[in-house]
Amino acid sequence: MSASLETGDLAAQMQELHREIISNSPIYKFLLQDVGSRSPLDLASLHPIWDILGLTIGLLSLPSSQLMIHSVSPGIVIAHLPLTGNLLNGRKVLHGSVSATIIDWIGGIVIASTGSANRGVSVDIHVTYSGAAKEGDLLIIEGKSRKVGRNLAFIGVEIRARKAGSDGEEKIVVSGSHTKYVG
């Protein structure tokens, strides 16, 4: 009986630690805030293509002044996002969960850019972290359709970082793939 009590105590301690970590993390505060308190994002104001596609972002609720759609063509979408403090981890670099959320988000946008009415549901998201982006960097998010079939869509994503105010070198910080069921 004492072993299960100790296990219960450990579980309670882990739960409390988890609460402390979340309550002190800006990214978790941002991602886990009450959905009802978020204002909807009007993508139509960002790029005329949104009027045609009728897209919304959903979970990634950023002020429209931050997320900028740079270009959209069938199967390719490029967006820019200045990296702000609420998107960083404890080491003050781009948080991994934000990267995964961006890959999820742009996957649906890329599928919609092909003319598909169904943006689908995620089957697999793969993320490879190969560098760090810091506050103030500009994230260049590029999603490309590898194939949009009858049942599955395959999207490749690259997130690059460019130093603030620079027109120079971009470094790949995250690459990923997103598979969605669209049938």
Percentage of residues of the chain with pLDDT beyond 90:
34
Dihedral sign, Cα of residue 34, residue 38, residue 40, residue 43: negative
Domain check: are 71 and 135 in the same one? yes
Distance (Å, whole) CA 141 – CA 77? 8
| 116 token code pair | 């598909």
Range of the domain at 6: 1-32
Considering the domain architecture, whether residues 1 and 81 belong to the same structural domain is answered as no
Q: State the sign of the Cα–Cα–Cα–Cα dihedral 26, 98, 89, 158.
A: negative
User: What is the model's pLDDT at position 116?
Assistant: 76
**Residues 14 and 85 reside in one and the same domain:** no
Q: Is pLDDT above 90 for 39? A: no
Q: Cα–Cα distances in Å, from 151 out to 106, 107, 176, 177?
A: 19, 15, 20, 17
Q: Are 55 and 139 in the same domain? A: yes
Q: pLDDT band at 70, cuts 50/70/90?
A: confident
Instruction: Please check whether residues 73 and 153 belong to one and the same domain.
Output: yes
Residue partners of 168: CB distance under 8 A and separation at least 6: 162
Question: At 104, is the secondary structure helix, strand, or coil?
Answer: helix
Are 121 and 151 contained in the same domain? yes
pLDDT of residue 53: 38
Q: Tell me: do 13 and 84 sit in the same domain.
A: no
User: Same domain, yes or no, for 109 and 143?
Assistant: yes
Q: How would residue 178 be classed by pLDDT, with cut points 50, 70 and 90? A: very high
Q: Which of 89, 114, 115 is nearest to 174 (CA)?
A: 89
Tell whether 115 and 152 lie within a shared domain.
yes
Are 117 and 169 members of one domain?
yes
Cβ(138)–Cβ(162) below 8 Å = yes
Q: For strands 138-148 and 76-82, give the pairing.
A: antiparallel
At position 87, the amino acid (one-letter code) is L
Count of structural domains, the chain: 2
**What was the pLDDT predicted at 10?**
58
Same domain, 77 and 59: yes
Q: For residue 60, give the nearest of 119, 95, 102 by alpha carbon.
A: 102
Q: Give the torsion sign (CA, 148, 149, 151, 154).
A: negative
Question: 140 and 162 in one domain?
Answer: yes
